[in-house]
Each structure stands twice: as structure tokens, then as C-alpha cells.
Amino acid sequence: MSQHQSVDPFTLFQTWFAEAEAAEPNDPNAMTLATTSLEGAPSARMVLLKGVDTRGFVFYTNLQSRKGGELAANPQAALLFHWKSLRRQVRVEGATEGVSDEEADAYFSSRARISRLGAIASEQSRPLLDRAAFEARVAELDTLYADKPIPRPGHWSGIRVIPKKIEFWQDMPFRLHDRTVFAKTADGWSVTKLYP
């Protein structure tokens, strides 16, 4: 049964995420990002959640990468968090938008120096003929920016997934799982329980 309630799926997500941070041995913020090609073919890869609030779920990437191109052509995405140690998953579906330059600059400047250099040096998702050439480019940039700030490249920024639907899945004995779906409405969120 679906009903309108004054509930906030982001509060539930933050609770589950905090429990995942305490329980998961590696990358509790890892999530599968699914996009589609221009032909409608699905494409998925792991990315890291770098921010979440009531506006949505944020990750950062090279906008010239395959995922960046797919999201530019079709700004819809799905995310999947799977916390095996907790036997939980969260599915998110919605439209995407870029984060502000201020948000991107702040996150970029918080990254490790080598990661910032790598973001400039990498032509993400394009063929790499020689790893040594990539490493040489990183070293060249390290010298170039030895005494000055490393600027965020214009093609590197954040994407926010603005959820229309968030599903919380909890494993239960004998595959009698608990599934709760929050769907965005004009006045908040509707809540529906699903059969396992």
C-alpha cells in the first residue's frame, strides 16, 4: 500500500550509511553508477559517493569520460549501494545535474596532490598506448605545479543524482526480504512496501 507521509529517505540513508562506515572494511561509499549510451545500451561502473544531502547524491569525474558523455546525452542515472556485511542495499534512480563550480573547486582542493595531478593528466576512458607516458605526464605536471596551486581542470567536476525513487532493501531469513520504496511526489515522498 502506498501512502503520503512526512518521511525523509535521506535520514534513513544517513543512518544506514553511518552503519556501513562502521561495518564495511573497504569503501563503504562505493556505489555502482548505471548510465545508458546514445543507443540505449546500459553501462555500469563503480564510483565513490562524495556528498549527500536533500538535493541528492554526488560523485566526481572527468566529464569527457564515457560516463560523462553518456550523462551529457541522457542525464538520467541509477545508483546501487551494496553493503554485504550489513546485508543491505540501496537503489537510487533519478535525473542528474552538475554541481556548482564552488562545490567542485572545494572538493578538488581537498584531494591528495597526486590525485589532482592525475585528474589533469588522465584522458579518462580513452586508449592508453603506454603507461609510462601517463606517468611521465604526471611527473611533468608535478614539476610544473611545484610552487603553485593545482587548478581544477574545466573537464573535471561533480555530478549530482537527484532521486525520484530510493529503495531500501534489507536481507531477511529465507529470502523474505524487506523492501521499502520512497517515490518523490509534489508534496514530499510516498512510501510503498514491495514483495521480496
CA 126 to CA 128: how far, in whole Å?
6
Distance (Å, rounded) from C-alpha 74 to C-alpha 95?
Answer: 9
- Provide CATH code, domain 2-110+154-194: 2.30.110.10
Give me the tens of pLDDT residue by residue for the chain, a chain 196 residues long.
Answer: 344 444 799 999 999 999 999 999 899 999 999 999 888 999 999 999 999 999 999 999 999 999 999 999 999 999 999 999 999 999 999 999 999 999 999 999 999 999 999 999 999 989 999 999 999 999 999 999 999 999 999 999 999 999 999 999 999 988 899 999 999 999 999 999 999 9
Residue (of 1, 6, 8, 3) closest to 168 by Cα position: 8
Question: From CA 191, how far away is CA 183, in angstroms rounded?
Answer: 7
Catalytic residue among 55, 88, 152, 175: 175
Give residues with Cβ within 8 angstroms of 127, minimum separation 6.
none
What are the residues facing 89 on neighbouring strands?
82, 169
Query: In terms of C-beta density within 10 A (0-12 exposed, 13-18 middle, 19 or more buried), how is residue 113 classed?
Result: exposed
Tell me, yes or no, if 175 is annotated catalytic.
yes
pLDDT given at position 38: 85
Side-chain half-sphere exposure of 52, counting CA atoms within 13 A? 18
Q: What confidence score (pLDDT) does residue 7 get?
A: 72
Q: Which residue has the cell 544506514?
A: 16
Instruction: For the full predicted model, state whether its pTM sits above 0.75.
Output: yes
